[in-house]
Amino acid sequence: PTGYAFTQTTRVERTGAAAKTFVSRYDPARAVGQRWTLVFVDGKAPSAKEAASAAKATKAQDVPSYAEIAKWFGGPATRIAQTPTSVTYRFARLPKGIVKMGKHDASADTSAEATVDLSGRAPVVTRVRFASTTAFRMALVVKVERYGVVTTYRPGPDSHPVIDAATVEMAGSVLGKAGTMTVRTSFAEMRSV
């Protein structure tokens, strides 16, 4: 997570609201509280309120990274598919602390599938899919019926794998009102720090 600087573009689409696009930069060479910078909101410079809100939100945010896979990959898994150049493993549940939504830890209610590319000198995970296995409440007023996350990885600087894109899809309700949310994030300008 501290090995690369990058630009992150996130598009948020949810029921009853206009889509919003955020562009942020992450630089681990900067001081801890200044590593994330909100650059654009819907193609314009962020307002002071938007910048302050983003700065507050990033304090608790994990840095998207290929290194995050090491926290759970290697646990009990089943080989579910194999070709001459790849293998896919299924993890029935994830260890505690891997999937956090606000204060709720959804790890025990999440399965994972990881596709590993075997064609190079070393095996590399190229795609991860998380999926909820049951509905759960994040708070008294928020219920998550289902969610899924697909993350892809690609060769980056020095041919080391880096995160390429992530898509999160959720369906549930807030105060009894049903809705969906899709968050698409892409990563560019990846450079070693």
pLDDT digit of tens for each residue in the chain (193 aa)?
Answer: 899 999 999 999 999 999 999 999 999 999 988 899 999 999 999 999 999 999 888 877 789 999 999 999 988 999 999 999 999 999 999 999 999 887 889 999 999 999 999 999 999 999 999 999 999 888 788 999 999 999 999 999 888 999 999 999 999 999 889 999 999 999 999 999 9
End-to-end CA distance of the chain: 11
- Cα dist from 39 to 17, 44, 54, whole Å: 22, 8, 10
- Cα dist from 29 to 33, 40, 63, 68, whole Å: 11, 21, 14, 19
Q: Which of 166, 184, 187 is nearest to 10 (CA)?
A: 184
pLDDT of residue 104: 87
Beta strands in 17-157 (DSSP E): 20-26, 36-41, 78-82, 86-91, 100-101, 104-105, 110-117, 124-132, 136-139, 142-155
Q: Residue 39, CB half-sphere, CA atoms under 13 Å: how many?
A: 12
Residues 3 and 159: their CA atoms lie apart, in Å, by 13
Q: Which helix (H) or strand (E) holds 51?
A: helix 48-58
DSSP 44: B
